[in-house]
A and B are shown apart, each in its own frame.
Chain A
Amino acid sequence: NAGVMQNPRHLVRRRGQEARLRCSPMKGHSHVYWYRQLPEEGLKFMVYLQKENIIDESGMPKERFSAEFPKEGPSILRIQQVVRGDSAAYFCASSPEIDQPQHFGDGTRLSIL
């Protein structure tokens, strides 16, 4: 039973480029969450999605960030026109129901040059 799969594991972008982070949830999980972890800080919630729907995006910056979870394929977190401050580890988690434990992938480490 494969866990949550994230790719790429490491991503390097120059300022102004776009970053696309992918997340395939565990089999049977329809709830997907994205979190960001800055150095020396805790995990911060960004967005919660179910298939084709954004349920809660209260933790996501209003500009440059977007997320989707299409009917087919992985969830995508997109960051447009990246800046140095976007450098962080981005984690995806999934759960079978909203109040069940969330299981995390190993993250994508985004570095901005």
Chain B
Amino acid sequence: EDQVTQSPEALRLQEGESSSLNCSYTVSGLRGLFWYRQDPGKGPEFLFTLYSAGEEKEKERLKATLTKKESFLHITAPKPEDSATYLCAVFTGTASKLTFGTGTRLQVTL
């Protein structure tokens, strides 16, 4: 069974304090790894797709990387508006579904 584990569960940063979120996975036949952002009361908002080890994607203050066992979401100089829950999900060749981790709740304070 596909498994996705995210750490830490919660992270509190000061504005400008860079950090990384981790997503480790155990799957058979990874076809893609997705990062989403979810705000309270809203649905997940798509951020990145990574398809192969070594791949990197960037968007504003966020950068996602992928290895054969894990993915990192690096947040550089975060702002309070980056506060949200960040979700990682995997898509495998044997299933049509996304398997999600439980997320990292990020809070960025002034």
User: Which of A's residues lie within 8 Å of B, judged by CB?
Assistant: 4, 6, 33, 35, 41-45, 48, 55-56, 58-59, 91, 93, 98-99, 101-107
The 9 A-B residue pairs whose C-beta atoms are closest, nearest first, are A45-B97, A104-B43, A42-B102, A43-B100, A42-B100, A48-B96, A106-B43, A104-B44, A56-B96
Q: Which residue of the partner chain, among B34, B43, B97, B101, contacts A101 with CB atoms under 8 Å?
A: B34
The reply to whether A4 and B43 form a contact with Cβ atoms under 8 Å apart is yes
How many residues of chain B have a CB within 8 Å of chain A? 23
Say yes or no for B71: interface residue by CB 8 A criterion.
no
List chain B residues, Cβ under 8 A from A59. Answer: 97
The reply to whether B46 and A102 form a contact with Cβ atoms under 8 Å apart is yes
With CB as the reference atom, state the residue of chain B lying closest to A104.
B43
User: Which of B's residues lie within 8 Å of A, judged by CB?
Assistant: 31-32, 34, 36, 41-46, 49, 87, 89, 91, 95-103
The reply to whether A41 and B97 form a contact with Cβ atoms under 8 Å apart is no
The reply to whether B31 and A99 form a contact with Cβ atoms under 8 Å apart is yes
**Alpha-carbon distance between A34 and B42 when the two chains are bound, in angstroms:** 15
The reply to whether B43 and A42 form a contact with Cβ atoms under 8 Å apart is no
- How far in angstroms is the closest Cβ of chain B from A92? 8
